[in-house]
């Protein structure tokens, strides 16, 4: 039995959910995949999969083995890439995670370009505003914004952008533009309810700090909802330039109180704890850095 091939078959069975789907991806017959996994179980002396009429499910031992097997396959691919030279391009699967709004505006429209550079690469993009477990979800690299709560994470800061008070021209025509932070209490705010949001907006200028408790009847738990509400003229919000990049460039939304500073927003590349970043993950992050360095008019920023 080719141990690495059997591990690859097992990983594909878990990833695809069935022996037949794994067989199609390996371009072999289903019996061959079933036999490989069975031989692997015999070698290890444990059950890796539970089979039932409803499908397949990994055992606890299977889940533990899956993560380590996947890592071994990645390391084997890394060794092959190093031997062949980076000029041959990336192969295999890259699984990334990013916040919904950032990915929709800045990432997904540019992925065809990245994939064109690496025609043998397959990507899976997990969109989630929450900080999911990277190891449990099999993520190679995640893009996270703001302050990292877990200091044990392996992370690299990619970029930083400003926060600002943002609203549409129609809203400001109706409610007027605030000239100082204190005037915000007379405005309708769209409140972002997740970590980093809230009703207290703190401004700084010339060493002074001003905290304002804003009022708003609309509380939203996802950045996409904040965007939609602001663009519907529902009120003002604190947002990063990344979040409203197309509209700021087009002039359909406006940042006010720009002579006051709000906390900036960092973008981080976060890797699973205890695992070295793969060549695929590092190459992808270099591409994200390239995208964000381009002018906003070409579609990068939010």
Q: Are residues 192 and 129 in the same domain?
A: no
Residue 79 counted as domain residue: no
Model pLDDT, residue 301? 36
In order of 69, 88, 92, the CA distances from 82 in angstroms are 20, 10, 15
CATH number of the domain where residue 134 is located: 3.40.190.10
Q: Are residues 286 and 150 in the same domain?
A: yes
Q: Are residues 250 and 271 in the same domain?
A: no
Residue 83 counted as domain residue: no
pTM for the model = 0.68
Give 187-256 as a DSSP string. Answer: SEEEEE-STT-SSEEEEEETTEEEEEE-EEEEEESSHHHHHHHHHTT--BEEEETTTTHHHHHHTSEEEE
Q: Are residues 239 and 288 in the same domain?
A: no
Which of 20-29, 44-53, 211-220, 291-300 is modeled with the greatest confidence? 211-220
Q: Are residues 37 and 112 in the same domain?
A: no
pLDDT tens across 105-141, in order? 999 999 999 999 999 899 999 998 888 888 778 888 9
Residue 301 counted as domain residue: no
For the chain, the first-to-last Cα distance in angstroms comes to 50
Q: Are residues 168 and 156 in the same domain?
A: no
Number of domains composing the chain: 3
Q: Are residues 115 and 229 in the same domain?
A: no
Return mean pLDDT, the chain: 86
Q: Are residues 271 and 214 in the same domain?
A: no
Q: Are residues 270 and 184 in the same domain?
A: no
pLDDT tens across 34-55, in order? 999 999 999 899 999 987 776 7
Q: Are residues 150 and 168 in the same domain?
A: no
43: containing domain: 3-70
Structure tokens at 139: 């993520």
65 pLDDT above the threshold of 60: yes
Q: Of all residues in the chain, what percent are helix, strand and coil, respectively (each to 5)?
A: 45, 25, 30
CATH number of the domain where residue 36 is located: 1.10.10.10
89 pLDDT above the threshold of 90: no
Specify whether the CB–CB gap between 13 and 41 falls below 8 A: no
Other beta carbons within 10 angstroms of residue 71's beta carbon come to: 17
Residue 82 counted as domain residue: no
Q: Tell me if residue 94 falls in helix, strand or coil.
A: strand
Give me the residue label for tokens 């002074």.
Answer: 208
CA-nearest of 66, 69, 68 to 57 is 66
pLDDT tens across 165-205, in order? 999 999 999 999 999 999 999 999 999 987 767 899 999 99
Residue 300 counted as domain residue: no
Q: Are residues 176 and 245 in the same domain?
A: yes
Residue 142 counted as domain residue: yes
Residue 244 counted as domain residue: yes
Residue 44 counted as domain residue: yes
Q: Are residues 15 and 150 in the same domain?
A: no
């Amino acid at each position: 039995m080719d141990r690495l091939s059997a591990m690859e078959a097992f990983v594909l069975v878990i990833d695809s959910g069935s022996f037949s789907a794994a067989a199609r991806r390996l371009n072999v017959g289903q019996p061959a995949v079933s036999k490989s996994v069975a031989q692997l179980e015999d070698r290890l002396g444990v059950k890796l999969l539970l089979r039932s009429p409803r499908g397949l499910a990994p055992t606890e031992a299977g889940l533990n083995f899956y993560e380590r097997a996947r890592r071994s396959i990645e390391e084997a691919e890394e060794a092959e890439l190093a031997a062949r030279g980076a000029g041959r391009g990336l192969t295999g699967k890259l699984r990334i995670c990013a916040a919904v709004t950032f990915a929709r505006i800045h990432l997904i429209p540019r992925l065809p370009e990245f994939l064109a550079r690496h025609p043998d690469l397959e990507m899976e993009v997990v969109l989630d505003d929450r900080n999911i477990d990277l190891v449990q979800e099999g993520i190679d690299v995640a893009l996270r914004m703001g302050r990292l709560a877990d200091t044990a994470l392996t992370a690299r800061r990619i970029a930083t952008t400003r926060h600002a008070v943002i609203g549409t021209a129609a809203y400001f025509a109706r409610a007027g533009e605030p000239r100082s932070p204190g005037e915000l209490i007379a405005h309708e705010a769209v409140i972002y309810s997740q970590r980093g949001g809230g009703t207290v907006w703190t401004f700084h200028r010339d060493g002074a700090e001003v905290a304002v408790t804003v009022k708003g009847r609309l509380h939203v738990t996802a950045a996409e909802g904040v965007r939609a509400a602001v663009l519907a003229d529902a009120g003002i919000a604190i947002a990063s330039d990344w979040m409203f990049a197309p509209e700021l460039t087009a002039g359909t939304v406006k940042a006010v109180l720009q002579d006051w500073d709000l906390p900036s927003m960092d973008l981080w590349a976060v890797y699973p704890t205890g695992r070295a970043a793969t060549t695929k993950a590092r190459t992808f992050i270099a591409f994200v850095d390239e995208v964000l360095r381009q002018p906003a008019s070409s579609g990068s920023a939010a």
